[in-house]
Amino acid sequence: MATFIDRRLDGKNKSAVNRQRFIRRFKGQIKKAVAEAMNGRSITDIDNGEKINIPARDLSEPVFGHGPGGHREAIHPGNKEFTAGDRVARPPGGSGAGGGGQASNSGEGEDDFVFELSRDEFLELFFEDLELPHLVRTQLAKTTEFKSVRAGFTSAGNPANIDVVRSMRGALARRMAMAAPYSRRLRKAEEELQRLLDTSPVDEMRVQELFEEVEHLRARVRAVPFIDTFDLRYVNRVKQPQPTTQAVMFCIMDVSGSMDRARKDLAKRFFTLLYLFLKRNYEKIEVVFIRHHTVAKEVDEQEFFYSRETGGTVVSSALQLSADIMRERYPVSSWNLYVAQASDGDNWHHDSPACRDLLMQRIMPYVRYYAYIEITPDRHQSLWEAYEDVKAQHRHFAMRQIDGPADIYPVFRDLFKRRVS
C-alpha cells in the first residue's frame, strides 16, 4: 500500500522566498558588507557574487534556556578508568564531560554567519542607493545575450531539428548506391528474359533460371532500407554572442588634496555605474585611468583610487592627456569613446577657458558621451561655468553637482534613456 511520486521535476526553489526574506531582514548588515566589498573591488570586477559575513549574534532566535551553573548530573558513554566517587577537575570552557548537552547550545554564539550573495542579489543591493529606475536596473543586470545561428548540419541532434529534405536526399543517394550492383544485374536479366520470351522456341530451363534470378535481385533491391539512422541530418545551431563593438572609458579624477576619501568613494560609484552600462552594451571595454592635480598622469586602478596627492589643480592637463591618448590609441573608427570626470570643482581659474576650448575642439567631436560630476556642497567655480558653455553646444555632454550616491544616476539619465527606449 504505497504510492510513489516522482517530485524531482518539481520546482527546487521552494525556499527562495524564505531566502529573500532573510536577505531583506538583514539588509542593514548585508549592505554594509556590500559597501565594504565595493571598496575592495576593482570597478571592472563589480558584477560577481559576494561572500557576506554577519555576526551570528545578530541573527540568533532567542528561547528560554538554562545557563551554566546549578546542579546537574550528565550521563556519558565510554567509561574507561572512572569508578564511583572519583573526582576530576572541571574541564576548561565547560565543554566536554562536564558541560554535557548544554555545551553545544552555548558554544554556537561566536562564529560569524557567512553566506554567498548571488550576482543578482549583489547588484540589486549595489543599485539600491543609486536609485536607478527599474528598467535600467534590469538592463544592467542582464548578462551577455547570445543569438542562436544556423551553422550547417550535423549527423546527431534532437528530433525537433531534423532537416527533412537533407535527410531524404541522403537516403535516396544511399539507396541508389547500395542497390546499384543489383539494379544493373536486374536490368540485364530482365532484358535477357524478354528476349528469350520473344524468340519462338522458348528455352524453358533458361527462362526458369532467369525468373529466379529476377525474383532474387528484386528482393535484394527491396531489402535496401528506405531510410536509415545515418541518413538523418540535423540542423546545427550555434550560439553566437551578439555582434558587439568595443568601447573605451576614460576615468578622469582630480586627486588634489581637497578630494577626500568620501568623495573618492562617490566617484568610484560614478565610474562603476558607467562601466556597468558600457559592459552591457559592448563586448570589449578598456578603461583608462587619468588622475591629475597640476599635472596629469595615466595610472592603474589601484593608484587611481588609493594614492594621495596634494597640490593645486589644473584640469586642462588631464583633458590634454586624454585627447592625446585618444588620438594615439583609440581611433574613432574602431572605438566608442566615453569619458567620465569627477572633481570637486576646484581649478586654477585661468585654466578654465583652456578646458572649454580643449573639450570643444579635441574631445567632444569624438566621444559618445561625456559625464561630469562635481562633488561639492559649495558654490560653483570657474570650471562649472566653462563647462556650461560646452553643455549648451553638445547634447551628449552631461554635468551635475552631487551630494550623495542618489544624485549619481541622473547624470546618466540621458544616456540610459537613449539606450533603453
| Residue 377 interacting with another protein (CB under 8 A) | no
> CA Rg, the chain, in Å?
39
- Distance (Å, whole) CA 414 – CA 338: 14
| Residue 67 interacting with another protein (CB under 8 A) | yes
Question: How many residues at the interface with another protein, by CB under 8 A?
Answer: 65
Judged by CB, which is closer to another protein: 111, or 388?
111
| Residue 333 interacting with another protein (CB under 8 A) | no
Range in contact with another protein (rule: CB under 8 A) among 78-86, 119-127, 318-326, 342-350: 78-86
48, 60, 118, 144: residue in contact with another protein (rule CB under 8 A): 60
| Residue 65 interacting with another protein (CB under 8 A) | yes
| Residue 49 interacting with another protein (CB under 8 A) | no
- Distance (Å, whole) CA 246 – CA 269: 22
| Residue 27 interacting with another protein (CB under 8 A) | no
Cβ neighbours, 10 Å, residue 97:
12
- Distance (Å, whole) CA 65 – CA 88: 27
Judged by CB, which is closer to another protein: 98, or 345?
98
| Residue 134 interacting with another protein (CB under 8 A) | no
Cell of 351: 585654466
Range in contact with another protein (rule: CB under 8 A) among 88-96, 293-301, 339-347, 412-420: 88-96
- Distance (Å, whole) CA 42 – CA 287: 11
Judged by CB, which is closer to another protein: 69, or 243?
69
| Residue 306 interacting with another protein (CB under 8 A) | no
Judged by CB, which is closer to another protein: 76, or 187?
76
User: Taking Cα atoms as reference points, which of 22, 34, 94 lies closest to residue 59?
Assistant: 22
| Buried-state track 4-35, b at ≥16 Cβ within 10 A, e below 16 | eeeeeeeeeeeeeeeeeeebeebeebbeebbe
Collect all residues with Cβ–Cβ distance below 8 Å to 74 and sequence separation of at least 6.
Answer: 97, 98, 99, 100, 101
36, 42, 72, 329: residue in contact with another protein (rule CB under 8 A): 72
Q: Which residues pair with 337 in a beta bridge?
A: 248
| Residue 92 interacting with another protein (CB under 8 A) | no
Scanning residues 101 to 120, which ones bind another protein (CB under 8 A)?
101, 104, 106, 113-116
Least distance to another protein, CB of residue 98, Å: 5
Cβ neighbours, 10 Å, residue 319:
26
Collect all residues with Cβ–Cβ distance below 8 Å to 176 and sequence separation of at least 6.
Answer: none
DSSP string computed for 208-256: HHHHHHHHHHHHHHHHS-SS-GGG--EEEEEEEEPP--EEEEEEEEE-S
CA–CA–CA angle 129, 133, 134 (5° rounding): 100
Judged by CB, which is closer to another protein: 37, or 337?
37
| Residue 70 interacting with another protein (CB under 8 A) | yes
- Matching residue, cell 588631464: 318
Least distance to another protein, CB of residue 105, Å: 8
31, 43, 46, 97: residue in contact with another protein (rule CB under 8 A): 97
- Distance (Å, whole) CA 37 – CA 381: 34
Judged by CB, which is closer to another protein: 85, or 377?
85
x/- map, 243-262, another protein, by CB under 8 A: --------------------
Binding site for another protein (CB under 8 A): 1-8, 10, 12-15, 17-25, 59-80, 82-90, 96-101, 104, 106, 113-116
